[in-house]
Structure 1
């Protein structure tokens, strides 16, 4: 999707809120928009999402889009699941499928117990979970989040962080604004600042005043520098991890990620260091044999592992996130021809 020369003002003679905006939003990308209050961030996001129309300029290549506003209008005459089922039908889903997806997403965000609660009776945090669910029902190709983490509990914020990674890994585009400079710090493929009535692209790693990442926000992964907990040198060079070849038991998630900067190939010691990440993932090289690795981790630890990869400095590029297929049963031992009955 691309914006060329886009501008927006309210009224034929009103001042320009945005003017001459050029913005490229490629597939499989995470884009952060920054700026002070009242700078026009929300106006830009509404235009990107198709909620608002530009006063001038051209938008091309708009994909199937979904939008989570800063303030969700909760005073509507529906229950949570009734509202979401209605919106699912608008997205082209059949009623039962829409209700099932709505319930699944509410459960994932920890709001399943409020499915039958009238919207007007929901708390701010639960209303925000409904707003997120309506945006995710139909797997949007473009997801636009305007302060979408506001009001969420820590567990739901973690779920949203992972959902963003999943959307990007699936080939989608996510554009977001958040007041917390640590939100997905270092993970964005591009960062822009709305200033005056224009839009400036920020260089990678640049501090931006109130949006700068605090110096103590964490050192990231830095896989080549990981020393603590390193395994002995006899860890196999195909990186079967600190588990010495043992996969995590129970439900697992596979995360395919590309090394930061894609400079050179990860060394065995780098991959051994990755095995010390949250959940102590089982690490193998990706199919390209280069900078891509696959990390298998118990499902209970997958959110923490994704956060660590996204918050690395520089960040890892998440290429895919998917449940692991069930492990095959152990093979029966070969018959011993030297044994006698």
Structure 2
């Protein structure tokens, strides 16, 4: 495993607004990395400095073990949040053209584009113009364009935007395969469920600063298991138990938030006296809960 991205205390300000302040992070090969934060937190500004669209006011950017140079971008694939395709151009012509921009021979670009279109189930669209396609289909085309030159670092800003669940799963599976092949993958998204399923490590930024960073398992281990998922039938009065801080009752299913250091077994003992319990699962907090708790604490401080 080698270090692909290393940001050392980078900062960027626009006039009087500080977009990013003293941000450090590291992404290794074969790692899926999530860059998270609320709108305006500095995620896109950080990505732009990472790939030289803008330069940091201070700090350093290293790619592939070397200080950033334009030459290193040949090994990077970038899917920006703002999509950019030629509406009047046919899909295959467009992909070959984008491959050529990345230094590929037209024949090689065509073969790779065909293989990717087959893999992502859009072969029947390759002779259509972009403007004739759905937003989700266009998203898959740009996804392919990002990967044609076989980059070692793949950066994706909101890659699942506009995709239905089937196609989102298809792209997720593709990213997992790329990670297994040793690619370093960074993606920025507001979809916490996707980050939780896919990412090995995360950096949560707020107000341009890292407020939570590390491996997913290590981060989750910092938080007490105080959520209960419960399936039951019968009297729900046990939901008034003093160990419960909050709950949502969906009628036979409940999501329960316990008070800090509360004993879940006390709740279970009372629940079985009042109702038939089919499921009682004590789970770790979701990434979304950690996100809200961390950002909320930092905002309120």
Fold match by TM threshold 0.5: yes
Deviation at residue 186 of structure 1 after TM alignment: 4.5
Q: Which of 119, 124, 130 matches 1:119?
A: 130
Cα pair 1:31 1:191 within 8 Å, conserved:
yes
**Counterpart mapping for 1:64-103 below 5 A:** 64-103=75-114
Task: Tell me whether 1:169 sits opposite 2:217 in the alignment.
Answer: no
C-alpha change, 1:186 and 1:202, in structure 2 (3 Å) is farther
* Residue range with higher mean Cα deviation, 78-87 or 150-159: 150-159
Gaps of 5+ in 2: 65-71, 221-226, 230-285, 287-301
Task: Tell me whether 1:180 sits opposite 2:152 in the alignment.
Answer: no
Residue in structure 1 matched with residue 45 of structure 2 by the alignment: 43
* Residue range with higher mean Cα deviation, 168-177 or 43-52: 43-52
Task: Tell me whether 1:33 sits opposite 2:44 in the alignment.
Answer: no
Q: Which of 32, 53, 56 matches 2:55?
A: 53
Cα pair 1:190 1:201 within 8 Å, conserved:
no
State the TM-score, normalized to the length of structure 2.
Answer: 0.63
Deviation at residue 201 of structure 1 after TM alignment: 3.3
Task: Tell me whether 1:201 sits opposite 2:205 in the alignment.
Answer: no
Deviation at residue 154 of structure 1 after TM alignment: 2.7
Distance 2:128 2:54 in 1: 30
C-alpha change, 1:215 and 1:93, in structure 2 (3 Å) is farther
Residue in structure 2 matched with residue 220 of structure 1 by the alignment: none
Gaps of 5+ in 1: 208-213, 217-312, 314-341
Cα pair 1:81 1:115 within 8 Å, conserved:
yes
Higher share in strand: 2
C-alpha change, 1:48 and 1:76, in structure 2 (3 Å) is farther
State the TM-score, normalized to the length of structure 1.
Answer: 0.56
Runs ≥4 residues deviating over 6 A: none
Distance 1:215 1:121 in 2: 48
Distance 1:201 1:184 in 2: 14
Aligned residues: 209
